[in-house]
Structure 1
Amino acid sequence: MNVPVQSLSDLPWLFLKRLMMLQRTARSVKCSSSDGTEDSEWDDDQEAESDCPQSVNPLDILTAVFLCSDSFLQQEMIIKMSMCQFAVPLLLPNTDNSQITLMLWAMRDIVKKYIPHTLSDPSAFVEERIALSELPLVSFVRLGRCNISKSEILNKLLSNPQQYTDTFVHFNMDCGNISKKISDGLVDMAWYLPCGNKNIDVFPEPVAIANLRGDIQNFRTQYTFLCEASTAVFVFFESQLLDSQLISVPSQKSTPQQFFVGDSNNENIKDALYRKQLEHLPKLCAQLLLDGFSLELVDGDSSNIPEKWITSVFSELNALVEPKNKIMVVTVLGVQSSGKSTLLNTMFGVQFAVSSGRCTRGAFMQLIKVTEERKAELQCDYIMIIDTEGLKSPELAQLDNSYEHDNELATLVVGLSDVTIVIIAMENSTEMKDILQIIVHAFLRMEEIGKKHKCLFVHQNVADVSAHNSNMRDRKFLLEQLDEMTQAAAKMENKLEVKKFTDLMNYDTETGDHYFPGLWHGNPPMAPVSIGYSESVYALKKHIMEIFKCYKPSTINEFLKWTKDLWTAVKFENFIFSFRNSLVADAYMKLCTEYNRWDWTLRKQMHTWTLEAETNAESELSKGQDKIIAKIQSYYEQGEGHVELVESYRQDFINSAKSLKTELSNSIRIKLDAAVSLLDLLKNCREKKAHMSDSTLDEAFEKMWQETVRTLSYTGLQKQDIITKVLHHLRKNLESRGNECRDFVEAKRESKDDYDDTHIGEILNMIDEKLKTHEDLKLKEDFELSLKLHICGFASREFQKIHNQFIQENNPRTALENAKQTYHSDFIDLYRERDQCQKKADEFMSNCLKPALEKYMSEVLGTEMADKMVTGENSAIFGTRTTFQQFILKNILDEFEFKTYRRFIKSYETYVKGFIFDKIRKHFTAENRMIKLEEKVLNEVISEIIQAIEDTEQDPKKNDIKGFIQDICRKLQKRLVIPSDVVDKISTLNNANPKKNSEFLLCSVKEMDKSLKASFQARDFQSKIRHLQTKPQDVLFKRVQGCGKQCPFCKAPCEAGGEAHAKHFVSVHRPEGLSRYRFDDSKKLVTDICTSSVYSDSCFKCRDTNDQWHPYKKYSQIYPDWRIDPDPNKEPLDVYWKYVMAQFNEKFAEEYNAKPADIYSLWKSITKVDAEKSLKIEK
C-alpha cells in the first residue's frame, strides 16, 4: 500500500484502497514526483496555482471517484467515509452536464447511535438511520474571497478539546492548497452526535453540518437548496462587502436571520451589535412612562443624571405624543420621612414607594394625562410629578459631602418644576430654610433663571383650624429671614439688584402656605387615615391647578433642554453646594480672605526673622571660629601634656571643626603673624631714633614681608575636578531610573559660593521632575540620557568657572597679597605718627559697612517688593489663586495670540513667572517706585548705623578703636553681617582716637548714603532684580501657584487650597487636545475633557503606563493623588476654553503635528465677549 504512485490515473485507486481499509490518510494521496506547493494566504475554497502538474486537490479525487461509481459503490464509500469521520457528499456537481445529484439514497445504510442530553434515562440511547433522522441542518457558505479557512474552523468547532479530527478537507492538508478543477459546487456534510458526557460534548443535541465549496455567487442553486433545507445558514465574507447587495432567497418561507462571521475580532462590530440590541429600549421606556410607570431621573446611587438615556427616552416620548406634548411640572421637597411620596400618591393617585425610612433614592418622575375637559383650562396635556429622596438622611449625615448631595438635588428639582411643594415640620424647619438659602444662592451663581418658580410650603402635623391666621407672623418672619439670606448671597455674588427672596421665586405669605393635620387618625396600625389630611391634600391640589392656569406650559423638548442646561450648571457649581447655608458660605469666604492676609503677614515676618537669625548665626559663627582656632594654636604652643607626641594629629584636629576651614585658619594666622612682625619692625626703628626716609622704610617693610611669607606654612585651597564629579553624579542618577537649570546655575554664580556636590544633585532632580510633567510626550531613555548629558555638560563648565573664581578670591596667599598695601600704608603712618581717623573710617565704611549694607538690601528688597504687589494697587490680582488665574486668562484673551496660548499651555510655570515679572516691572518703573522703595529701606538702615555710632561714642568703656568698632558691629548684627576678619584687619595697627573716629565715621556714612542713592538712579531695573537674593517674582509665583501640580491629562493647574491637601483636583478641565492628546486611529485632536473620559470606557497610554493601554476609569491606579469626578457630558462646559479651542483648532493641530479636532458647531458661535464674561472677574 505504500508503493509510490507515479501517475495521476493511480490516485483514485489508491484512494479507494485506503478508504476500504478505513485508513485515516485515505484523502492524502499524491504522486511521488509532486513536491507540494508553498503555503498561500488564501483558504481551501480559493484558487491557488501549483508549480507541479502532478498535484491534485483531494476534493477533486473524491468528486471524480463518486462520479465514476455506481450507486452501490457510492453507498459503500459513504459508509466507510462515515466510519472514518470524513465529511460525505450531499450535493454532487457534474461539470459535464451541469447536473447536481442529491446523495440521500447513498446514505440510507448509515446507522448512528448517540445519547442526547434531553433523555431522562441516563442509560438510554438513540439508534436510527441518519438519512431518516429529523436533525437540524446548519449550513456554512462563502461570499467572495476570504482570508480565513471556513473548513478548518468547522473542524475545530466539531472537535472536542481532547481530540482533533479533520472532518472536512481544508487548505492546510496535503495538497489542500491545490486549485480545484471539478469539485467547486460540492456540498459535503458531517454530523455531530453527543455521547452523553457533558464534559466532552460540544453540543448537547445532534446536529448536521453542511459545507458548500466555492463562492455562492457562482452556485446559487446549491445555496437556494441549503437555505430551504437549513435551520441556519452562516455566510463568511470580508468586511468590505458589508455595503454590497447580498444574495436573497425569495422563496424562503420564514424571515431569515442573518449571522455575519467577520474575519477579525473587530471591537467596532461588537459595539454596533450591542447598540443594535439596545435601540428599542428608549421607546419601550417612553411607552411605559405613558402607561403610568415611574422613570428614574436622578440616579440615587451615583447622584447623577444619565443625560444620554434621558435624552433618548424624552425624544421617543415626544415622538409618541406630538403635538400633544405640553407639560407642567410639580415637585415635592422635604427631609426624610416627612410624607413626600404619601402626599403625591394621595394627591394624584400614583404609587410612589412609601416607607418610614429611606425608600426613595435620587428622583423619580411620572406622567399624568390631563383629561380632555381640563386641557383647555390648564393649557397642558400632561402633568409631570417628581418625587425626590428625603434630605438630611441619617445614612448620608456621616459623609463628608452630605451637604453637597442635598443641595445639588434640591437645586435641580426646584429648578425643573413650575410648582415646588416644600414640606416643613416643626422639628426640621431650620434644615429646610438652610436648603432654600443654598437654592437661592446657587441660582444667583449659575445665572440660569429664565422663569420664576412657584414655591408652596406645607406645614405638617398642624391640626388647628385657625393655624393659617395664627401663624401669619411666623410666615412673615420666615420670609424676612429668607430675604436677609438672599441679600447676603447677592452681596457675595456682586448682584445687588437682587433684594428679596421673591425676586427669584414666587412666594405669597397669604396663599403660599398650607397646614396639614397628621396622616393617621389615632395610633397605627389600627388607625385610619385622617379625613382632615385628605381634605387638605384636595385643597392643595385645587390651588396647584389654579396656579397652572397662570403659567405657560413647556413642551417635552423644552423641558429636556432645560433639564440638561440646569444639570450642567449644577455639576460645575461645586463651591456653594458644599456649605450648610449662605451664612456658612459667606463666613468661609471672609475666612479665606483673612487667611490669605494672615498667611502673607506670617511669611513676611518669618522672612525678616530668618534674615536676622541668619545674621546673628553668622556673627556668632565667626566668633566661634576665632575662639576654636586660637585655643588649638595656644594648646600646641604651650607644649603641655606631651603635646609633641600628638603633633602629627594637629592638622586633623583643625580639620575636624568643619565650620572652620583650613584655608580660613591659615589666612587668620598669616595676618596675625604679619601684624606682629610689623609691630616688631616699628619698635626697632624707633629705638634706633634714626630718621628713615620713605625709601628706607619701604625696603625694611619688603624685607620683613618676604621673610614672614617664607616661614609660613602654606597649603592653600585644593582645586577640585568638577567635570569628574558631575559625571559621577550623572551616572548615579541614571542608575535609578532647560531653562530652569540655566537659571539655577546663574543663581549659584551670583551667590559667589564655592561648588558643592548638592548643586548637581538639585539639577538632576529638577530634570526628573520636568520629565514627569511631560510624560505624554513618550520620551525614550536615550532622550533622557542626551538631555542630562547636555545640561550637565553646560553646568559642569559653569561650576568649574565658579569654583576657580572662588579659589582665586579666597586663596590665603592671594588674600595676604591683597592686604599687603594696607599693612604697608599702616606701617608708614604709624612710624610717622600720623592721624589715621579719616583713613580708618573710610576703610571701615568701604570694606565693612557698605558691603554688608548692599547684601542686606539684596536680601530684603525682594520681599518688600512682593509685599507692595500683594497689599497695594495689584492686590486684586494677587489676592487669591482664583483671582490671579482669572486675571491672567483675561490678559491672554485681550492679547489673543496663538503663540501666547501655546506658551501658556506648554510652559505654564515659565509663562506665569514672566507675566508676574512684567507686572512687577510695570509697577515699580512707574513713578520711580523702585527708587523710592530702595531709598526707604536704605534710610532705615542708615538711621540704625548712625544711632549705633552715636550710642557707642557715649560709652566711656570704649576707649580703644578696636572695641569701638566691634561694639558698632554688635549693635548692627541683627541687620548686617560684618566679617570679623575684615574688622580685625582694620583694627590692627590702628592708633585712631575713638571719639574723633566717630565724627569721621558719621561723615563717611553720609557719603555712603549719597553714593548708594546715586547708584540707585544709575542702575537699570533688570540689573537690580538680577542682584536680588530673593526674587519678588518667585515669592509671588509661590503664592499663586498652589502645589504646582497639573492634571495628568489636560495639564490644568491644581486648584486645591494650600499645599498639604490630600488630593489634587481641577474644577473645570480643558479639552485634552490642548495638551497634545489625539485619537490613536484618526490622529485628530481630542475635544473630550478628563471628566467625561474617566466616565467612559476609553483607554489611554503614556509613560506612566509604560506605553500600555490603561482604562480611564481606573486612572487612580496610575495617579492616586488626583481626584477627577466622572461626568458623562462629552462637551467641556467652560466657555473660555471652548472659544480658544474653536479659534485656534488648525494652529494647535499644526503645532502638535496632528489633525484638527471635530469642533462642535455651538463652540464656533461663542464670541470673545462670552469668553471674557465666563471668567467672572469682579469689576
Structure 2
Amino acid sequence: PDKDYWYIPGLWHGNPPMAAVNIGYSQKVVELKQCVLDHFTERNASTVTQFIRNFTNLWNAVKHENFIFSFRNCLEVDAYNDLSVKYSDLEWELRKMVYDFVDKAQKRIETEEKNPENLLAVLRNELLEVMETTKAEVIKTLEDWFSAQNKKAHLIQDYKDQFKMNIDILCNKLEEESHKQLKKTVQRQEGRKKLHDIKTKYNKLIEDKVNLLVQSLRQKTKDQDESELHQAFETMWAEAILSLEIYQPKVANIQLDMETSLRENMKARASILNKKLPEKSLDDWGKLEFEINERHIAVRSLSDRAWRYVHNIYKESKKETDVLKCCLKEPRKQAEILITKSKNEMKTIIQQEMDYDPKYCKTFLRHVDKILDCEFPTFSFTEKFRTYFKLHICGIGIQKFQEIHDSFRQKNDPLQSFEADKKFYKQIFVNLYNQKDQSQSCAKLYLDSYIKPAMIANLNQKLGRAIVDYIKSTQNAEEFKSRRNLQVGIMLDLKKKNLFDDYYQYIDNTHKFEKDWVEEQVLRYCENSEQEATLLHNLAMDILEPAVHSIQKAIRDIDTHKELTAWTFLTEFRKAMEGIIVLPQDKFTNQDIVRNAPCFVDELKDLANGFKNDLSNTIKGWNVRSKVSELPVAPWKLLYDMLSGCGEQCPYCGVLCDCTDHNHEMHSANYHLPEGLRGYRWSFWKSLVTNSCSDTSYIALRLYREQDPWLKSQLSISHTWV
C-alpha cells in the first residue's frame, strides 16, 4: 500500500530563480521510477507504445503536480470504460430478450378471442420467470468478467456491486414497462373485439342480401349484362347500408375535458383563468406563439434597482430594448425546452390504435407540473408564467388529442369499413351470378389484403430493434459502445467537419445535438449499400424470410385432402401462424364464396412461392429515411437512451451528466466546458472566463454574462453536482 501513494517534494528551496534545488525532489523521483520499473518486471510484458504512454502520463503528473491524472487513475479510467462497454452489451441482450417476449406476447393477446384479460396474468408470470433466468445469466457473465484473467478488473472491483444494482434496477424498469405495454395491448384487443363483433354481424347480413340478389336474378329468363348487374348491386348495397343500425363511435368534447382538468389543476389561479379563457378558447391559445416578457421571470441575483431600470425602459418605450432582449434570452431558450419536453410527454401518454380517453388531460397536466418544477441558477419562472404556459401547452394538447380521436373514429367507423369492402362484395356477387370459380381471385385477395399487410406490420415492429442490434454488434460502430465512446465520436466528427455552426449547436444545446447526431448516423448506416441493396433492405429481408418460410410450410402441412372448406383451411392456417403474424378473420365467412377448397389452397401455395420476391420489390421501393422515421420503434431513440446519461445539465457550463447508472444521486461529468463558452466574463477586465465551472465553483467570482448584464455574482454550483 505504501508504494501506491507517493509524496514528491517541491523542486525549489525558496522562490526561483535564485532558490536552490531541493535534493529530496530528485531522490523521490528516482525512487518512484525504480518502483515503477520493479512493478513492470512483476507484471506481464506490455507493448512499447503502452510503456511510453504510461511513463508519459506519470511524468506529466509529477511535473505539473496534477495527481488526479496519475498513472494508476489512467488505467482505472480505461478499465472502467471497458466495463461500461461490457455492461452496455449485457444491457442490450437483456432488453432484446424482453422485447422479443413482449412481441410474442402481444401476438398471443391479439389472437385471443375469448378473454385476453385472463391471458395477461399468465403472460406476466411467464415474463417474471424469463426475466429471472436472463437476469441470473447476465449477472453471471458480469461475475465472469471480473473473475477472469482480466489485467484491469482488479482496479475497479469497487464498481462491481454498483453494476449489479444497475442490472436489478433495469430489470424492474423493463418489467414495469412490459406490463404496461401488454395491458395496453389487452385494451386495444377488447376494443377491436367489439368492432369485430359488429362487423361480423353486418357482414352476415350483407352476404345474405348478396345471395338473395343472385337467386332472384337467376330466376329471370333474361341474362343480365355487366351494366345491369352493376345497377342491381348498387341498388341492393344502398338499401342494405340504410337498413343497418350502424354503430358510430362516440364524439368526445376534448376542449371541455381539458378546460375542466385545467381548472381543477389551477384552483389557486381560477381568477386568471376566468379572465383569459373567455378572451380565447384553449384551442386558440395553443395556436399562438408562446411569448415571454419581463413579468414571467424572477431574477435571483439581480438588484432591485437594476431590474426596475429595465422594467421602466420597457414600460416607457412599449417595446423590447436590447438590454431586455439579453435578459430574456436564456428564459426563452429554457421555455422552448419545457415546451419540447411537454410535447414528448404527450406522445408517451397517447396509446397506439386507442381512442382518446378523458384521463389523458389530467395525466398530461401532472406531467407538465413535474416539468415546470425545474430550477435554474440565475432566474426562476413566476406563477404568471406557469399560468400562460399551461394555457399554451393545453391548447397544443387539445389539437393532438383531437387528431388521434378523429383518426380512431375514422378507422373504427363500420360504415367506412363497409365502403372499403364494397369492391370485394361486388366481385363476389358477379362471380356467384356467373357461377365462376373464385379460387384464384380469392387466393390473391387473401394474400394481398391479409397476409401481406400482416407481414409488413410485423416487419415494422421488429425493424427498429434489428437496426440497433446490427449497430451494436458491428465492429465499425465503436462510438455506440459506451457513453464515453459516443462523446469521443461526436468530438472527432466536429473536428473533422470544423464548422462553427456545429460547434455552436453542440455547446448551446448538447442534448438535442447528440440526439440529432445519433439519428443521422443511424440513417447513414441504413443507407449503406451491401450486395447491391441497402442495409435496411437486407435487415428487412432477414426478418421476413423466416416468416415467409413459415407461411409456405403451414400451407403445405395442412391436409387439403380431407373434407375441408376454405373457411376451415383459413382457420387452421391462422392458428398455425400464431406467434409469427396476426391474421384477421372477418371475411370469407360465406361458404359459397370459395367452394373448391383444394383449388384455393393450390392457388395460395403458388402465390406464396413468389411472395418473397414480391416483398423484396416492395422494400426496394422504400425511401430509407422516410421509412426509418416512420417505424413505431425509433432505432436512434432506443440507441441514445442506452448511451445518454440522466439528461441533467450542469447549471453553468451546460454539459450533460455522464452517469448512466439508474440510481445515481449526484450528477457528474468527465469534462466541464470553460464558462466563457456560455458568455461569462471577468467583471473587472471583461475578458471571457477560460476556467471551467469545476475550477471556479469554490471561489466567489464577480462575473457577468454578455447577454445578462444584470448578473452580478455567480451562484455556487448546485449541491447535486460534483
Q: TM-score range by the shorter chain?
A: 0.5 to 0.7
Distance 2:402 2:581 in 1: 30
Cα distance change on mapping 1:1061 and 1:755 into 2, 3 Å: same
On the 8 A contact 1:723/1:796 being kept in 2, the answer is yes
Counterparts of 1:305-320 in structure 2, within 5 Å, are: 318-319=14-15
Judge conservation of contact 1:716–1:812 (CA < 8 Å) in 2. yes
- Please say if residues 328 and 418 of structure 1, whose CA atoms lie closer than 8 Å, have aligned partners that are also in contact: no
Identify which of 425, 433, 458 aligns with 1:823: 425
The residue that corresponds to 2:254 in the other structure is 722
Equivalent residue in structure 2 for 1:668, among 175, 193, 200? 200
How far off is 1:895 after superposition?
2.4
The alpha-carbon deviation at position 848 of structure 1 amounts to 0.9
Specify the code of the residue in structure 2 equivalent to 1:904. Y
Relative to 1, partners in 2 of residues 1:682 and 1:957: Cα closer, same or farther, differing over 3 Å? same
Q: Is contact 2:560–2:597 with CA below 8 Å preserved after alignment? A: no
Provide the rounded CA distance (Å) in 2 between the counterparts of 1:752 and 1:873.
Answer: 38
Q: Which residues in structure 2 correspond to 1:696-711 (within 5 Å)?
A: 705=237, 708-711=240-243
How far apart, CA to CA, are the structure 1 residues paired with 2:254 and 2:378?
33
Match of 1:1041 in 2: 644
1:999 aligns to what?
A: 602
Which one of 851, 867, 870 corresponds to residue 453 of structure 2? Answer: 851
Distance change >3 Å, CA 676–CA 721, structure 1 → 2 = same
Answer yes or no: is 1:485 the counterpart of 2:39. Answer: no
1:495 matched to 2:49? yes
**Secondary structure of 1:453's partner?**
helix
Aligned counterpart in structure 2 of residue 963 of structure 1, from 568, 584, 608: 568
Q: Contact (CA 8 Å) 1:1073, 1:1086: kept in 2 or not?
A: yes
Indicate the residue corresponding to 2:224 in structure 1: 693
Aligned to 2:276: none
Of the candidates 531, 541, 550, which is equivalent to residue 935 of structure 1?
541
With over 3 angstroms needed to count, the CA separation of the structure-2 counterparts of 1:713 and 1:899, relative to structure 1, is same
SS at the partner of 2:24? Answer: strand
Aligned residues of 1:916 and 1:1037 also touching (Cα < 8 A): yes
- For residue 356 of structure 2, what is the aligned residue in structure 1? 755
The 5 A counterparts of 1:272-671 are: 318-319=14-15, 323-329=18-24, 417-420=28-31, 453-455=33-35, 479=38, 482-485=40-43, 487=45, 490=46, 495-497=49-51, 565-570=64-69, 576=75, 591-620=83-112, 622=113, 624=115, 659=191, 664-671=196-203
The aligned counterpart of 2:172 is: none
Equivalent residue number for residue 470 of structure 2:
868
Shift of 1:601: 2.2
Q: Secondary structure at the match of 2:22?
A: strand
Alpha-carbon separation, structure 2, partners of 1:1039 and 1:962: 47
Task: Summarize the Cα distance change of 1:940–1:663 in structure 2 as closer, same or farther, 3 Å threshold.
Answer: closer
Residue equivalent to 2:581? 976
Kindly provide the CA deviation profile for residues 640-681 of structure 1, in whole angstroms up to 9, marking residues without a partner as x: xxxxxxxxxxxxxxx9x9646755543332223333444455
Which is richer in strand? 1
Q: Which amino acid aligns with 1:1017?
A: K
**Deviation of 1:744 (Å):** 7.7
Q: Mark the runs of 5 or more structure 1 residues left unpaired by the alignment.
A: 1-302, 331-382, 384-415, 421-451, 457-477, 506-558, 579-584, 628-654, 1117-1121, 1125-1179
Kept after mapping to 2: 8 A contact 1:862/1:1030: yes
Indicate which of 1051, 1067, 1074 corresponds to 2:677. 1074
Given that 1:1098 and 1:1111 are in contact with CA atoms closer than 8 Å, whether structure 2 keeps it comes out as no
1:495, CA displacement in angstroms? Answer: 3.1
Matching residue of 2:323: none
Deviation at 1:766, TM superposition (A): 6.9
Distance 1:610 1:707, change over 3 A: same
* Pair 1:1058 & 2:661 matched: yes
Kindly tell me the number of residue pairs found equivalent between the two proteins: 569
C-alpha distance 604-890 of structure 1, shift in aligned 2 (>3 A): same
CA shift digits 1:450-505 (9 cap, x unpaired):
xx73449xxxxxxxxxxxxxxxxxxxxx95x7425363xx56xx934559x99999
Deviation at 1:989, TM superposition (A): 4.3
Q: Secondary structure at the match of 1:602?
A: helix
Paired letter, 2:202: I
Q: Deviations over 1:928-967 (max 9, x none)?
A: 3222323333333222221222222x36557111121122
Report the alpha carbon displacement of residue 783 of structure 1 after superposing the two structures with TM: 4.3
3-state SS, counterpart of residue 528 of structure 2? helix
Counterpart among 1031, 1038, 1054 of residue 634 in structure 2? 1031
- Pick closer, same or farther for the CA change 1:1096–1:900 going to 2, 3 Å: same
Q: Could you say which residue in structure 2 is the equivalent of 1:780?
A: 381
Task: Give the aligned partner of residue 804 of structure 1.
Answer: 406
Amino acid at match of 1:326: V
For residues 386-414 of structure 1, give each alpha carbon's deviation from its aligned partner in whole angstroms, at most 9, with x where no partner exists.
Answer: xxxxxxxxxxxxxxxxxxxxxxxxxxxxx
1:1073-1118 Cα offsets, whole Å, 9 max, x none, are 434556789887544434334433569999xxxx9999738x43xx
How far is 1:575 from its partner? Answer: 6.3
Q: Which amino acid aligns with 1:780?
A: F
Q: Any conservation in 1 of the 2:650–2:721 contact (CA below 8 Å)?
A: no
Asked if 2 retains the 8 angstrom alpha-carbon contact of 1:1047 and 1:1053, the reply is yes
| Counterpart Cα distance in 1 of 2:386 and 2:56 | 62
Distance 1:1085 1:986 in 2: 78
Preserved contact between residue 675 and residue 692 of structure 2 (Cα < 8 Å): yes
How many Å apart are 1:573 and its aligned residue?
7.5
Contact 1:1100–1:1112 (CA<8 Å) still a contact in 2?
no
Q: 1:1025 to 1:602 in 2, by over 3 A?
A: same
Q: 1:573 to 1:749 in 2, by over 3 A?
A: same
User: In the alignment, residue 849 of structure 1 is paired with which amino acid?
Assistant: I
Distance in 1 (CA, whole Å) between partners of 2:524 and 2:61 is 47
- Of Structure 1 and Structure 2, which has the larger fraction of its residues in helix? 2
Please state whether the residue corresponding to 1:1051 is helix, strand or coil. coil
Distance (whole Å) between structure 2 residues aligned to residue 809 and residue 1087 of structure 1: 59
Is the contact between residue 1099 and residue 1110 of structure 1 (CA under 8 Å) also seen in structure 2? yes
Aligned identity (percent) is: 22
Q: Secondary structure at the match of 2:671?
A: coil
Q: 1:834, CA displacement in angstroms?
A: 1.7
Q: Following the alignment from structure 1 to structure 2, what is the Cα–Cα distance between the partners of residues 852 and 1056?
A: 41
Long gaps (5+) in structure 2: 119-186, 270-338, 706-710
The two structures, once aligned, show a CA RMSD in angstroms of 4.7
Q: Is the 8 A contact 1:572 1:1068 kept in 2?
A: no
TM-score normalised by the chain length of structure 2:
0.66
| Cα 1:593/1:714, change in 2 over 3 Å | closer
Indicate conservation of the 8 Å contact 2:565/2:597, yes or no.
yes
Deviation of residue 709 (structure 1)?
4.0
**What code does the residue aligned with 1:596 have?**
S
CA distance in 2, matches of 1:1070, 1:1089: 5
For each residue in 1:304-363, what CA deviation from the matched residue of structure 2 results, as whole angstroms up to 9, or x when unmatched? 99x9xx99xx99x624x9735111117xxxxxxxxxxxxxxxxxxxxxxxxxxxxxxxxx
User: For 1:144-155, what aligned pairs fall within 5 Å after superposition?
Assistant: none
> Which whole-Å CA distance do the structure 1 matches of 2:192 and 2:443 have between them?
29
| Counterpart-to-counterpart distance in 1, 2:610 and 2:470 | 29
Deviation string 1:1142-1166 (CA, Å, 9 cap, x unpaired) is: xxxxxxxxxxxxxxxxxxxxxxxxx
The structure-2 alpha-carbon separation of the partners of 1:980 and 1:1072, relative to structure 1 and needing over 3 Å to count, comes to farther
